[in-house]
Amino acid sequence: MDVIAAIATGVNPTAIGIVRVSGEGCFALCERVFRAANGRPFADQEPRKMAFGEMLDRDGQVIDQGLAVRFPGPNSYTGEDCAEFHCHGSPVVLRELLSALFAAGARQAQAGEFTKRAFLNGRMDLTQAEAVVDLIDAETAAGARNAAAQLEGGLRRTLEPIQDALLEITSRFYAVVDYPDEDIADVRPEEIAAALRDAAGRLDRLLDTCRRGRVLKSGVRTAIVGRPNAGKSSLLNALAGYERAIVTDVPGTTRDTVEESVLCGGVLLRLIDTAGIRDTEDVVEQMGVERSRQAAASAELVIVLIDGTGDITGEDQEILALAQTAPHFIIAMSKSDLLPAGFAHVLRRDENARKPDACLSISSVAPGGLRPLERALARIFPAGEPGEAGSLLTDARQEDAARRARDAVHRALEALEGGMTPDAVLTDAEEALDALGELTGRTAREEIVTRIFSRFCVGK
């Protein structure tokens, strides 16, 4: 493959900047842009150990002093010869060093090409490659831990027993058919049924992780709804930690949705602060109210704020009915710091109506006033057990492949239990194997691989 090079750090000035190189013959190119202080050629530097020296531009002029390290293949990130230059993080220095590498024969690396080469060279499977970008994009500690464990092969290890069982079924069947004169034990229907039931159970449990995986990776789309002046914008500001939305005593201040990502109770919330829902003659406010309704309809979690200092109104009841259409909803009495001791509201609700996931009192200004909300969110969206890290399905592609594998296994089991011969079951078992291979990258089509690596930044 060509020698590729790219700046692996950001475009803004930083203390340290890194330029990465990979490909057969890259050590010879690096020799032309780096002069080691110990006087040894770059290819003779001790592997995986930093060497101090001077960085040279395309004219051989010194542009910086820093460190360089070489990683001989196949024991490198990409599986081929690799090198990195660690210099001062001036964008000018990084560009000059990269330009010198281009002049020496390297080309600009495409987005995600280093990790793509690692995948193509067998250094990681597709789930591990996806974990790389998930780790870069992680917005919570739990999300980072899950991505790191997946990068170490957590999801692959979950899939391997399923693949091994299905391969045992298919390979033994073909062996019996292709070599009838050999003393190969036939595959008994009860053995096939046991293996298929085990595979189906494992895939069912894996698919049960989809929701937690999506929450860890993408967060929870959350709409804050309520009447005007219920404290919606105050709650958004308290969660965000700064004045994200305008707060006044004038009802109807918020006319449009305001969005912000926050961490609450260890859960990443994609918050949408909405306009107060009420009947109004103001055309602009009417548009805001309609957007509030749309936000609630598309949210996974709706937080209904009810002003704890006033009476429950018909509008509050209508908003509660709207919130019940969401997968999860919380009723929060706001302004608990202003309520008299022992004060509690009793909502007059239809006994047949769906119960909220939590009903609590909060304050956006009092110390510890949001702790009830934090505890409720941690309970509704649990992070899972530490041992599960790395074995969660985190995106739609993984979920789709696992679901197709599970469905194929169930079809194979139904066919077997319906009296079909083992060869008829084989087609569904092979379809399940193909879907699992697509998940790990063994049988993934080129367009799928290309789409995955297009998510990466240049230099990774």
- The mean pLDDT value of the chain amounts to 83
The pLDDT assigned to 185 comes to 56
For the chain, percent of residues with pLDDT exceeding 90: 38
Percentage of the residues of the chain whose pLDDT score is greater than 70: 84
Q: Between 55 and 253, where is the model more confident?
A: 55
Structure tokens at 186: 């036939």
**233 labeled part of a ligand binding site:** yes
Two structure tokens written together for 361:
């009192």
45 phi/psi in degrees, rounded to 5: -65, 150
Using CA atoms, how far residue 441 sits from 122, 124, 135, 398, in Å, is 10, 9, 19, 11
Decide if pLDDT at 416 tops 60: yes
Q: Is 414 annotated as a binding residue?
A: no
Instruction: Determine the average pLDDT of the residues in 209-237.
Output: 85
273 is in an annotated binding site: yes
- Is the CB of residue 169 less than 8 Å from the CB of residue 200? no
Q: How far is CA 80 from CA 27, 68, 75, 209, 267, in A?
A: 11, 17, 8, 35, 39
Give phi and psi for 239, each to the nearest 5: -70, -40
- Per-residue pLDDT of 279-300, as tens digits, reads 555 555 556 666 777 777 888 9
460 known ligand binder: yes
Between CA 431 and CA 348 the distance in angstroms is 54
437-440 long-range contacts (CB < 8 A, ≥24 apart) are 437/163, 438/401, 439/126, 439/127, 439/159, 439/398, 439/401, 439/402, 439/405, 440/125, 440/126, 440/127, 440/156, 440/159
The whole-number pLDDT of residue 176 equals 54
Helix ranges (DSSP H) in 243-365: 283-298, 314-323
Higher local confidence (pLDDT), 265 or 26:
26
- The reported pTM is 0.77
Burial readout 84-100 (b: 16 or more C-beta within 10 A, e: otherwise): bbbbbbeeebbbbbbeb
Q: Using an 8 Å Cβ cutoff, are 399 and 161 in contact?
A: no
Spatial distance between the Cα atoms of 261 and 258, rounded to a whole number of angstroms: 11
Q: Examine the pLDDT at 424 and tell me if it is beyond 80.
A: no
CA quadruple 172, 178, 184, 190: dihedral sign: positive
Question: Residue 14, annotated ligand binder?
Answer: no
> What distance in Å separates the CA atoms of residue 265 and residue 239, rounded to the nearest whole number?
11
Helical residues (DSSP H) of 105-138, grouped into ranges: 113-120, 126-137
Distance CA 329, CA 149 (A): 31
Confirm whether residue 275 is marked as ligand binding.
yes
Q: Is 311 annotated as a binding residue?
A: no
Nearest CA to 256 out of 275, 230, 234, 231 is that of 275
Separation of alpha carbons 375 and 379, rounded Å: 6
276 is in an annotated binding site: yes
Query: Would the annotation count 249 as a binding residue?
Result: yes
Q: State yes or no: 217 annotated in a binding site.
A: no
**144 annotated ligand-binding residue:** no
Distance of alpha carbon 405 from alpha carbon 200, whole angstroms: 9
CA distance 258 to 269: 13
Q: Which residue has the tokens 């008994």?
A: 188
Q: Is the pLDDT of residue 84 over 60?
A: yes
pLDDT digits (tens, 9 = 90+) for 53-80: 999 999 999 999 999 999 999 999 999 9
Let me know how many helices (H) and strands (E) the chain has, helices first: 15, 13
The answer to whether 399 is a known ligand-binding residue is no
Report DSSP letters for 152-171, one per residue.
Answer: TTHHHHHHHHHHHHHHHHHH
* Lowest-confidence region among 202-206, 282-286, 310-314, 366-370: 282-286
Give 141-170 pLDDT, tens digit per residue: 888 888 888 898 888 899 999 999 888 888
Is 369 marked as binding a ligand?
A: no
Cβ-count burial 419-438 (b if 16+ within 10 Å, e if not) = eeebeebbebbbbbbbbbbb
Question: Annotated binding residue at 313?
Answer: no
Q: How far apart are CA 441 and CA 291, in angstroms?
A: 41
pLDDT in tens, 362-402: 888 888 889 999 999 989 988 766 566 677 888 889 999 99
Cα distance between residue 332 and residue 250, in whole Å: 21
Query: Does 357 belong to an annotated binding site?
Result: no
Please tell me the least confidently modeled range out of 28-32, 36-40, 77-81, 445-449: 445-449
Q: How confident is the model at residue 278 (pLDDT cuts 50, 70, 90)?
A: low
Mean pLDDT (whole number) for 9-13: 85
Do you find a cis peptide bond into 74, omega within 30 degrees of 0?
A: yes
Query: Does the annotation flag 234 for ligand binding?
Result: yes
* Whole-number pLDDT of residue 18: 96
Number of neighbours of residue 327 by Cβ within 10 angstroms: 13
**What distance in Å separates the CA atoms of residue 299 and residue 272, rounded to the nearest whole number?**
9
231 is in an annotated binding site: yes
